[in-house]
């Protein structure tokens, strides 16, 4: 034997113990450690302190015996080979000892059987130990499989199901009676209608694994996406006897991935929209300024003034379209105020329903709670209008058309948090707009929030409504979800976080034109055309104007004329030096100087990140001469 053993000897004779050790050494058994005991107490101490490989025991000792030692060993729960080595005793006593738990009986002096018996029992003990370890591992594996959240089933070589775990029953809706002993190909929806078993069997029967992601249906017909893996199971002869099938429901994971890809797509398009918006708003500002100057010059020609007014209105409509695009891109400036969404929806519903035909049944169920949110009421009114108009178009062909609006309080549960990990709030206002129209096909549901996607016929839809709606809701730190079944109708669910304080923005929509008193204004913009037009407008409003093309030149000019300049108007985004940095340097020269920012699009929200510039008002582009005159007068008068 190659392994040295630890031997516990139950013997009252030191000479007999020494003789036993000598015989073991002669037989090639190496002793790592041995201990002789002769009482029950000393045996118990030895069992508690040490781990033994073998116990030998004399049958009769003055105060102890082999049968008592066997009972003590059983009580300890240890599996140690126990061999009685004793003088001649009655054969029946030997049989009783073997029945009680002794593994062998050796007569002292007849040593030829000693070493083989010990080798056999040590080998048997090792086998029993391995079996116990395997049983423990099997119990663990059985527990893991049984408690796994993934559906696990085992089929035999005849393709019949022999085992399913609890998750299989929960996920598929089938009971064990429905599937055990049944051929897996004959169980409806058991692994998906798109699974072709004749293609799979040759592959897995050859010892290869099979994995596929596909759509499956449970017993009730509800569809879900799963990842299915099939692996062969081999017997002791390495022959394939069974197959293990693991089915993981990945519907939530797919939903999160789809939202992530949608977010990336929106971010990319938003970056494009935001980049274009700045230049486009600059052009609109220049155009509106020129129209204003043209109107002033054509006062004596009413027809020309009328045409110019129409052109001016078209310019403002273009500005509103850019604002919608920026809302979609989540990069526009919004007037965020705290208000009761319940009261707001009641009023917005009254305005929106004007566009709904009288033959469509309308209902509006609003909870009693005020549900205060922080938001841009104009933008949210446009959201509700878009959704109601979409619902109106969806029910156009219905015999009994109906649109339902509901607003209620919602608390996010764990499932909602898992599906929307980017939403930090727990309490929400839940607004839903439902219709009983034809619904949206499954293939189109992932596209409805994409810009310019529409299923309407040419000329009846721009494809921007839902894209703007999506961007507007995300700009409010909320979420919009689509629930639709083709042929049965559609519901849009909106979740807006409750009780956050809003920010105030300057109202620049007053119409009165206010004249100046020859104050001097430093006007800074990198767009030469806009700079010239804005300067001309300010001249017409009785202001003196000094122009600069960027922040660096603005500082140079201000240093030369700081005693004469009453107000500085700075574009935020300019080459060489932007408006915010220039404003800080100008304020270092004169901390009391009045400043106004203009911006077609501040993509990095730099003003929100700067406490020094937080009090400086912003005039968004495109701006009208009226709004320019208002904000300039307000700053000079403050």
Contacts of 252 (CB under 8 A, 6+ apart): 418, 419
Query: What are the two backbone dihedrals, phi and then psi, of residue 184, each rounded to the nearest 5 degrees?
Result: -60, -25
Q: Do the beta carbons of residue 622 and residue 284 sit within 8 Å?
A: yes
The per-residue pLDDT of the chain, averaged, comes to: 85
**Residues 135, 139, 141, 142, CA torsion sign:** positive
- Per-residue confidence (pLDDT) for residue 286, from 0 to 100: 82
Q: Do the beta carbons of residue 551 and residue 576 sit within 8 Å?
A: yes
pLDDT over 80 (residue 45): yes
As a three-state string, the secondary structure of 412-436 is: CCHHHHHHCCCCCCCEEEEEEEEEC
- Per-residue confidence (pLDDT) for residue 607, from 0 to 100: 53
Strand partners, 228: 212, 247
Residue 528 pLDDT class (50, 70, 90 cuts): confident
Closest Cα partner for 295 from 285, 283, 284, 304? 304
Residue 453 pLDDT class (50, 70, 90 cuts): low
Contacts of 582 (CB under 8 A, 6+ apart): 524, 551, 552, 554, 555, 570, 574
The tens digit of pLDDT for each residue in 589-599 reads 999 999 999 88
Whole-number Cα distances in Å, 417 to 11, 289, 326, 425: 70, 49, 28, 9
**What's the whole-number mean pLDDT along residues 59-76?**
93
SS3 36: strand
Asked which of 8-22, 283-297, 495-509, 511-525 is least confident by mean pLDDT, the reply is 495-509
The tens digit of pLDDT for each residue in 250-307 reads 888 887 777 777 667 767 766 777 667 767 777 888 888 888 888 888 888 988 888 8
- Per-residue confidence (pLDDT) for residue 251, from 0 to 100: 84
Distance in angstroms (rounded) separating the CA atoms of residues 265 and 452? 13
Whole-number Cα distances in Å, 370 to 353, 385, 409, 480, 501: 22, 21, 9, 21, 15
pLDDT over 60 (residue 116): yes
pLDDT over 80 (residue 243): yes
- Per-residue confidence (pLDDT) for residue 321, from 0 to 100: 67
- Per-residue confidence (pLDDT) for residue 606, from 0 to 100: 46
**What's the whole-number mean pLDDT along residues 394-420?**
90
- Per-residue confidence (pLDDT) for residue 435, from 0 to 100: 93
Distance in angstroms (rounded) separating the CA atoms of residues 405 and 386? 13
Contacts of 74 (CB under 8 A, 6+ apart): 101
SS3 48: helix
Q: Which residue is associated with the tokens 């230049």?
A: 279
Whole-number Cα distances in Å, 295 to 11, 288, 299, 301, 314: 124, 10, 6, 9, 15
Distance in angstroms (rounded) separating the CA atoms of residues 37 and 17? 10
What single string gives the DSSP state of each residue in 360-401?
SEEEEEE-SS--EEEE-HHHHHHHHHHHHHHHHHHTTT-SS-
- Per-residue confidence (pLDDT) for residue 193, from 0 to 100: 54
Distance in angstroms (rounded) separating the CA atoms of residues 101 and 71? 8
What single string gives the DSSP state of each residue in 535-554?
HHHHHHTT-EEEEESSHHHH
pLDDT over 50 (residue 443): yes
What single string gives the DSSP state of each residue in 285-341?
HHHHHHHHHHHHHTTT-HHHHHHHHHHHHHHHHHHHHHHHHHHHHT-S----EEEEH
Residue 504 pLDDT class (50, 70, 90 cuts): very low
Residue 510 pLDDT class (50, 70, 90 cuts): very low
């Amino acid at each position: 034997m190659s392994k040295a053993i630890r031997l516990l000897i139950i013997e009252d004779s030191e000479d007999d113990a020494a003789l036993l050790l000598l015989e073991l050494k002669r037989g090639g058994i190496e002793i790592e450690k041995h201990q002789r005991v002769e009482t029950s107490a000393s045996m118990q101490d030895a069992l508690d302190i040490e781990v033994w490989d073998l116990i030998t025991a004399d049958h009769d000792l003055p105060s102890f015996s082999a049968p008592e030692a066997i009972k003590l060993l059983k009580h300890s729960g240890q599996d140690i080979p126990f061999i009685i080595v004793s003088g001649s005793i009655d054969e029946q006593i030997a049989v009783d000892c073997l029945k009680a738990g002794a593994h062998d009986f050796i007569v002292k002096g007849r040593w030829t059987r000693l070493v083989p018996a010990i080798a056999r029992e040590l080998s048997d003990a090792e086998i029993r130990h391995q079996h116990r370890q395997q049983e423990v591992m099997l119990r663990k594996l059985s527990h893991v499989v049984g408690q796994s959240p993934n559906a696990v089933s085992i089929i035999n070589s005849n393709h019949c199901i022999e085992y399913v775990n609890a998750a299989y029953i929960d996920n598929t809706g089938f009971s064990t009676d429905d599937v055990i002993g049944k051929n897996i190909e004959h169980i409806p929806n058991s692994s998906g209608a798109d699974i072709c078993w004749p293609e799979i069997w040759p592959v897995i029967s050859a010892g290869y694994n099979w994995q596929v992601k596909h759509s499956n249906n449970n017993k009730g017909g509800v569809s879900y996406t799963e990842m299915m893996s099939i692996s062969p199971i081999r017997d002791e002869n390495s022959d394939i006897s069974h197959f293990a099938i693991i089915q993981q429901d990945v519907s939530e994971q797919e939903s999160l991935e789809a939202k992530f890809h949608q977010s990336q797509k929106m971010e990319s398009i938003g970056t494009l929209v935001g980049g274009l918006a700045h230049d486009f708003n600059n052009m609109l500002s220049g155009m509106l300024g020129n129209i204003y100057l043209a109107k002033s010059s054509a006062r004596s020609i009413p027809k020309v003034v009328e045409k110019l007014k129409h052109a001016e209105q078209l310019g403002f409509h273009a500005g509103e379209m850019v604002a919608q695009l920026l809302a979609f891109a989540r990069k526009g400036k919004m007037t965020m105020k705290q208000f009761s969404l319940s009261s707001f929806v009641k009023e917005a519903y009254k305005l929106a329903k004007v566009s709904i035909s009288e033959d469509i049944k309308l209902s509006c169920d609003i909870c009693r709670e005020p549900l205060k949110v922080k938001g841009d009421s104009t933008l949210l009114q446009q959201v509700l209008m878009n959704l109601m108009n979409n619902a109106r178009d969806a029910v156009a062909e219905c015999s009994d058309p109906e649109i339902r609006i509901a607003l209620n309080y919602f608390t996010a549960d764990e499932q909602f948090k898992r599906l929307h990990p980017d939403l930090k709030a727990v309490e929400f206002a839940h607004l839903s707009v439902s219709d009983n129209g034809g619904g949206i096909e499954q293939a189109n549901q992932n596209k409805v929030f994409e810009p310019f996607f529409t299923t309407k016929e040419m000329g009846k839809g721009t494809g921007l409504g839902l894209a703007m709606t999506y961007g507007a809701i995300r700009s409010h730190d909320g979420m919009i979800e689509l629930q639709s079944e083709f042929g049965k109708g559609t519901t849009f669910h909106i979740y807006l976080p409750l009780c956050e304080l809003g920010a105030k923005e300057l109202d620049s929509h007053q119409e009165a034109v206010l004249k100046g008193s020859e104050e001097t204004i430093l006007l800074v913009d990198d767009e030469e055309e806009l700079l010239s037009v804005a300067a001309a407008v300010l001249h017409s409003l009785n202001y003196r104007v000094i122009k600069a093309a960027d922040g660096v030149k603005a500082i140079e000019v201000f240093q030369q004329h700081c005693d004469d300049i009453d107000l500085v108007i700075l574009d935020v985004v300019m080459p060489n030096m932007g408006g915010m940095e220039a404003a800080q340097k100008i304020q270092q020269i004169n901390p009391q100087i009045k400043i106004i920012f203009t911006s077609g699009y501040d993509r990095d929200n730099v003003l929100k990140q700067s406490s020094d510039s937080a009090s400086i008002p912003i005039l968004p582009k495109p701006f009208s001469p009226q709004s320019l005159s208002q904000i300039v007068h307000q700053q000079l008068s403050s």
